[in-house]
Structure 1
Amino acid sequence: MDLKALFSTKLSEVLKGSLTTKEIYSLIETPKNDEHGDLAFPCFQLAKIQKISPIEIAKQLASQINDTVFSKIDAVGPYVNIFFSKKELGKAIINPILHQEQNYGSSEIGKEKTVVLDLSSPNIAKPFSMGHLRSTVIGNAIANLAKKCGYRTVKINHIGDWGTQFGKLIVAYHRWGNEEAVAANPIGELFHLYVRFHQEAEKNPYLEDEGRAAFKKLENGDSEYLKLWESFRNESLRAFKSIYDLLSIEFDSFQGEAFYNDKMDEIVQMLKEQSLLELSDGAEVVRLDEQQIPPCLIKKSDGATLYATRDLAAALFRQREYKFDEALYIVGQEQTIHFQQVKGVLKKLGYVWAEQMEHIPFGLILQHGKKMSTRKGRVILLEDVLNEAIKLAKKNIVEKNPGIHNPDEVANAVGVGAVIFHDLKNDRMNNIEFSLRDMLTFEGETGPYVQYTNARAHSILRKYKGTDVCFEGLDDDESWDVLKLLNEFPRIIERSYKQYAPSILAKYLIHVSQAFNKYYGKIRILAEDEHLQSRVSIVKAVTIVLTEGLQLLGMKAPKEM
Structure 2
Amino acid sequence: MIYKDKIAATIAQVVDLEVEAVQRILETPKDLKMGDLAFPCFQLAKTMRKAPPMIASEVAERLTPALQAAGVPVGSVQVVGAYINLFLDQQAVAKDVIATILTEKAGYGSADIGGGAHVTIDLSSPNIAKPFSMGHLRSTVIGNAQANLLAKIGYQPVRINHLGDWGTQFGKLIVAYKKWGSEAAVQQNPIPELLKLYVQFHDEAKADPSLEDQGREWFKKLEDGDQEAQQLWQWFRDESLKEFNKTYALMGIKFDSLHGEAFYNDKMDRVVNELEAKGLLVEDEGAMVVKLDEYDMPPCLIKKSDGATLYATRDLAAALYRQDTYQFAKALYVVGNEQRLHFRQVFKVLEKMGYGWAAEMHHIPFGMMLKDGKKMSTRKGKVILLDEVLQAAIADVKKVIAEKNPNLANKDQVAEQVGVGAIIFHDLKNYRMNDINFSWEEMLTFEGETGPYVQYTHARANSILRKAGYVESSDVVLPAGALEGAEAWAVVTLLLNFPNVIKRAGEEFDPSALGKWIIDLAQAFNKFYANVRVLAEEEAVKNARLQLVAATATVLHEGLRLLGLEAPAEM
Counterparts of 1:166 and 1:285, CA distance in 2: 26
SS of the residue aligned with 2:299?
strand
Q: Which runs of 5+ in 1 are unaligned?
A: none
Q: 1:21 to 1:289 in 2, by over 3 A?
A: closer
Alignment of 1:295-444 (within 5 A): 295-444=299-448
Counterparts of 1:468 and 1:341, CA distance in 2: 55
Counterparts of 1:381 and 1:4, CA distance in 2: 45
Deviation at 1:554, TM superposition (A): 0.6
SS of the residue aligned with 1:398?
helix
Give the corresponding residue for 1:541: 551
The question of 1:467 aligning with 2:471 is answered yes
Counterparts of 1:99 and 1:27, CA distance in 2: 33
The question of 1:58 aligning with 2:56 is answered yes
| Amino acid in structure 2 at the alignment position of 1:25 | Q
Give the corresponding residue for 2:520: 511
SS of the residue aligned with 1:373?
coil
Q: 1:480 aligns with which of 489, 493, 509?
A: 489
The question of 1:23 aligning with 2:27 is answered no
Once the two structures are overlaid, the 10-residue window that deviates more, 204-213 or 158-167, is 204-213
The question of 1:130 aligning with 2:124 is answered no
Q: 2:91 aligns with which of 82, 87, 90?
A: 87
How many residues are matched? 559
SS of the residue aligned with 1:374?
coil
Q: 2:251 aligns with which of 229, 247, 250?
A: 247
After superposition, the C-alpha distances for 1:303-325 in whole angstroms (9 at most, x for unaligned) are 32222221111111111111111
The question of 1:560 aligning with 2:551 is answered no
Once the two structures are overlaid, the 10-residue window that deviates more, 302-311 or 80-89, is 302-311
Give the corresponding residue for 1:38: 36
| Amino acid in structure 2 at the alignment position of 1:48 | K
Deviation at 1:107, TM superposition (A): 0.4
Give the corresponding residue for 1:522: 531
Deviation at 1:57, TM superposition (A): 2.4
Identity %: 56
Q: 1:389 to 1:57 in 2, by over 3 A?
A: same
| Amino acid in structure 2 at the alignment position of 1:511 | D
After superposition, the C-alpha distances for 1:78-107 in whole angstroms (9 at most, x for unaligned) are 212222111122112111111000100110
Deviation at 1:487, TM superposition (A): 0.6
Q: 1:502 aligns with which of 497, 506, 511?
A: 511
Once the two structures are overlaid, the 10-residue window that deviates more, 454-463 or 177-186, is 177-186
Give the corresponding residue for 2:5: 5
Deviation at 1:368, TM superposition (A): 1.0
Give the corresponding residue for 1:200: 204
Q: 1:284 to 1:174 in 2, by over 3 A?
A: farther
Deviation at 1:12, TM superposition (A): 4.5
- Contact 1:131/1:365, CA 8 A, preserved across alignment: yes
SS of the residue aligned with 1:5?
helix
Deviation at 1:175, TM superposition (A): 2.5
Q: 1:285 to 1:202 in 2, by over 3 A?
A: farther
Give the corresponding residue for 2:262: 258
Counterparts of 1:538 and 1:366, CA distance in 2: 41
Deviation at 1:124, TM superposition (A): 0.6
Q: 1:71 aligns with which of 65, 75, 78?
A: 75
| Amino acid in structure 2 at the alignment position of 1:78 | A
| Amino acid in structure 2 at the alignment position of 1:546 | L
Counterparts of 2:462 and 2:352, CA distance in 1: 56
Q: 1:259 to 1:394 in 2, by over 3 A?
A: same
Q: 1:82 to 1:340 in 2, by over 3 A?
A: closer
Deviation at 1:446, TM superposition (A): 0.5
| Amino acid in structure 1 at the alignment position of 2:388 | D
User: TM-score by structure 1 length?
Assistant: 0.96
Deviation beyond 4 Å, 4+ runs, structure 1: none
- Contact 1:440/1:448, CA 8 A, preserved across alignment: no
Counterparts of 1:521 and 1:393, CA distance in 2: 25
Q: 1:18 to 1:357 in 2, by over 3 A?
A: closer
- Contact 1:163/1:306, CA 8 A, preserved across alignment: no
User: TM-score by structure 2 length?
Assistant: 0.94
Deviation at 1:152, TM superposition (A): 1.2
Counterparts of 2:163 and 2:541, CA distance in 1: 56
After superposition, the C-alpha distances for 1:374-410 in whole angstroms (9 at most, x for unaligned) are 0010000001000000010111123222221111111
Give the corresponding residue for 1:215: 219
Deviation at 1:19, TM superposition (A): 2.5
The question of 1:158 aligning with 2:162 is answered yes
Counterparts of 1:341 and 1:56, CA distance in 2: 52
Counterparts of 2:425 and 2:470, CA distance in 1: 34
Q: 1:25 to 1:344 in 2, by over 3 A?
A: closer
- Contact 1:216/1:304, CA 8 A, preserved across alignment: no
Q: 1:8 to 1:307 in 2, by over 3 A?
A: closer
Deviation at 1:332, TM superposition (A): 0.7
After superposition, the C-alpha distances for 1:407-463 in whole angstroms (9 at most, x for unaligned) are 111100000000000001111011001123212323211100110011110011101
Counterparts of 1:18 and 1:347, CA distance in 2: 39
SS of the residue aligned with 2:291?
strand
Deviation at 1:535, TM superposition (A): 0.7
CA RMSD, 1 decimal: 1.7
Give the corresponding residue for 2:234: 230
Counterparts of 2:275 and 2:37, CA distance in 1: 56
Counterparts of 1:69 and 1:178, CA distance in 2: 73
Q: 1:361 to 1:137 in 2, by over 3 A?
A: same
Give the corresponding residue for 2:499: 490
SS of the residue aligned with 2:535?
coil
Deviation at 1:10, TM superposition (A): 4.4
| Amino acid in structure 2 at the alignment position of 1:29 | E
Counterparts of 2:51 and 2:301, CA distance in 1: 62
Q: 2:173 aligns with which of 169, 184, 197?
A: 169
Q: 1:403 to 1:183 in 2, by over 3 A?
A: closer
The question of 1:103 aligning with 2:101 is answered no
Deviation at 1:271, TM superposition (A): 2.2
Deviation at 1:25, TM superposition (A): 2.9
